[in-house]
Amino acid sequence: MKTAIIFYSFSGNTRRAAQFLKEQLAKKGVAADLIDLKLKEDVKAFFKQCQHALFKKTPELVGADYNLEKYGFLMFSSPVWAFTITPALRSYLGGISSLENKKAACFLTYGSGSGSAKALRELESVLREKGAHIMFSKNLSGFRTKNTTYLEERFRPLLEIITP
Ligand SMILES: Cc1cc2nc3c(=O)[nH]c(=O)nc-3n(C[C@H](O)[C@H](O)[C@H](O)COP(=O)(O)O)c2cc1C
């Protein structure tokens, strides 16, 4: 089943987790495309980032691939920002008309962990509203994304259900 991992990462933790997942999937013979979301205008100041996340801004993305027809399994990922998902992922989700008949997974990376459960529930609910069947949903400690044993353990349930 063709798979895509769609993610936003500002400081690299989420990208590292997505890359690890891609590699683990490849070992199982499952090819996954990484769709790395980029903002047209990157916001770099912490306060502004929090403000944009809190107010559920949907900034413009550049070069985002919305051609999801070819994928049967879609994975969505983002850091937690201000107890919610990032504006970049919110923008991308807003541009998807339907996820009917798609299998989906989601994972977020967090710092302190505050608001991470709420953010994950919110992401799940957006995916469900679009018709996706959520097969896996998990929060990951951003600090621990360099620890492959940790990532292996967190992603194990997902890797067990995916077959080529
Ligand atoms: C603007 C901003 C807001 C954040 N808000 C939260 C938060 O509410 N809860 C939390 O646990 N971590 C929060 N974090 C920490 C990030 O979620 C964490 O470091 C994440 O792994 C970063 O992912 P990245 O390296 O892919 O950008 C925040 C980080 C930033 C930059």
* Average model confidence (pLDDT) across the chain: 97
Distance CA 140, CA 135 (A): 16
Give the total residue count for the chain: 164
Given a cut of 90, whether residue 82 has pLDDT beyond it is yes
The C-alpha angle 154, 78, 84, rounded to 5 degrees, equals 105
Distance CA 92, CA 160 (A): 28
Residue of 54, 108, 110, 116 best suited for mutating to test ligand 1, as the one with most atoms within 8 Å of CB: 110
In the reported structure, the alpha carbon of residue 123 is separated from the centroid of ligand 1 by a whole-number distance in angstroms of: 15
The answer, yes or no, to whether any atom of ligand 1 lies below 6 A from the CB of 83, is yes
In the reported structure, the alpha carbon of residue 110 is separated from the centroid of ligand 1 by a whole-number distance in angstroms of: 5
Instruction: Give pLDDT tens digits for 32-64.
Output: 999 999 999 999 999 999 999 999 999 999 999
Residue of 50, 51, 80, 89 best suited for mutating to test ligand 1, as the one with most atoms within 8 Å of CB: 80
Element (H, E) at 52: helix 46-54
Pick from 82, 162, 62, 155: nearest CA to 122: 82
Pick from 93, 124, 95: nearest CA to 108: 124
Given a cut of 90, whether residue 1 has pLDDT beyond it is no
| DSSP β-ladder status, 84-85 and 32-36 | unpaired
Give pLDDT, residue 134. Answer: 98
Pick from 79, 85, 67: nearest CA to 127: 85
Query: CATH for 3-161?
Result: 3.40.50.360
Q: Of ligand 1's atoms, which has the minimum distance to the CA of residue 12?
A: 25
Dig out the tokens for 104 from the structure: 């989906």
C-alpha torsion 128→79→7→4, nearest 10: -60
Dig out the tokens for 6 from the structure: 């769609």
Instruction: Give pLDDT tens digits for 104-127.
Output: 999 999 999 999 999 999 999 999
Give pLDDT, residue 164. Answer: 83
Each domain of the chain, given as residue ranges in start order, spans: 3-161
Dig out the tokens for 92 from the structure: 């991308």
Element (H, E) at 76: strand 73-81
Given a cut of 90, whether residue 24 has pLDDT beyond it is yes
